[in-house]
Amino acid sequence: MSPGVESTDFSESLYPKPPNFTNAQVVDRYKTDAGAQQSFWAIKHGIMASGMPAWGASHDDDRMWAMVAFIRSLPELNENQYTMLTTRLDDDMMDMSEGGAGMQH
């Protein structure tokens, strides 16, 4: 969820419920080395029957570690910072797909 958004219809319908990474208390559990490795593993391999996809086939390790860093930064971001970062990420993904190196669906 983005900063300033408590939940959405989509997030409320997921089972199990995803962690709210904009909550500092939630993210604090992932700020240890073990927590970062757990986050990386979940991003790379996904979580079966949860709605969390595996990104390991379409993203390299550096990109997945960047996702971990992004998750860890969410509690400190305001809505404008979040929008700026995610808009830039969307633009980067579009540039990659136009060059043939983007995500494959």
Would the CA dihedral through 93, 94, 100, 105 be positive or negative?
Answer: positive
The C-alpha atoms of residue 35 and residue 22 are separated, in whole angstroms, by 16
The model scores a pTM over 0.75: no
Residue 9 domain-assigned? Answer: no
Confidence of residue 31 (pLDDT cuts 50, 70, 90): confident
Residue 8 lies in a domain: no
In a domain, 7, yes or no: no
Please count the structural domains in the chain: 1
In a domain, 3, yes or no: no
Q: What is the mean pLDDT of the chain?
A: 80
The CA-CA-CA angle for residues 52, 18, 23, to 5°, reads: 130
If pLDDT is split at 50, 70 and 90, which confidence band does 101 have? very low
Q: Tell me, yes or no, whether 39 lies in a domain.
A: yes
